[in-house]
Chains A and B, each alone.
Chain A
């Protein structure tokens, strides 16, 4: 079974830092791009970042560029996102998702991990 499991969500103060992880299983991990997507409770989906199969290419949403860093360890089948200078507007459920074979669609998603930025 293809699985993605996020972890690391927590309550953090504004200006703080957090690292989220995404553990993958059930597929050849180093063949696929991995994305992060977030969702403010009760709101829509916002694409956050992606990392290529080898980590050589990373892309970010304007809202997080310069504060978030995505990385991967193919030996551990894992992707991380380091989140710095957190703002209250970063409060959301964060999902990792695997890119599929068709036109950069996201064909497998984790269940999400919750980040709350609050004083």
Chain B
């Protein structure tokens, strides 16, 4: 199975900060990498698909980059409503494994 490792596991940031979360795959997955945001008590929501494509309706302050084994999710200017747990997921090969999550809260 392809292992996905996110860093950091948790972080604190202030409104207006630039935030970067990293995801690494245990083997190359081209750009078959997706990012999800999950708020407490809610289902995950797709933010970024195919490593860098913004899902419809997602604010443009979210962006994704990377290919192969190294990927990043960036929030250009953090807003309070962005606080959540973020997950990467590879969809290159089943089982479509997720990273362990990055919990983002307010500093």
A106–B44 CA distance with the chains assembled, in angstroms: 9
A106–B38 CA distance with the chains assembled, in angstroms: 13
Give the distance to chain A from B75, nearest Cβ to Cβ, in Å.
Answer: 19
Which positions in A face B, CB cutoff 8 Å? 35, 37, 44-47, 50, 59-62, 95, 100, 102-107, 109-112
Which of A60, A62, A102, A109 lies in contact with B44, CB distance below 8 A? Answer: A109
Asked whether, in the complex, the Cβ of A47 is within 8 Å of the Cβ of B98, the reply is: yes
Give the distance to chain B from A33, nearest Cβ to Cβ, in Å.
Answer: 11
Given contacts A44-B98, A62-B1, contact A112 B87 (CB under 8 A): no
Asked whether, in the complex, the Cβ of B1 is within 8 Å of the Cβ of A100, the reply is: no
A111–B45 CA distance with the chains assembled, in angstroms: 11
Q: Size of chain B's interface in residues, with CB distance under 8 A?
A: 27
Which positions in B face A, CB cutoff 8 Å? 1, 31-34, 36, 38, 42-46, 49-50, 53, 55, 87, 89, 91, 94-101
Give the distance to chain B from A87, nearest Cβ to Cβ, in Å.
Answer: 18
Asked whether, in the complex, the Cβ of A102 is within 8 Å of the Cβ of B89, the reply is: no
Which of B49, B95, B99, B101 lies in contact with A107, CB distance below 8 A? Answer: B49
A112–B100 CA distance with the chains assembled, in angstroms: 19
- With a CB–CB cut-off of 8 A, which chain A residues contact B94? 47, 50, 59
Asked whether, in the complex, the Cβ of B95 is within 8 Å of the Cβ of A105, the reply is: no
A44–B87 CA distance with the chains assembled, in angstroms: 8
Which of A44, A60, A106 lies in contact with B101, CB distance below 8 A? Answer: A44
Give the distance to chain B from A40, nearest Cβ to Cβ, in Å.
Answer: 12
A111–B41 CA distance with the chains assembled, in angstroms: 9
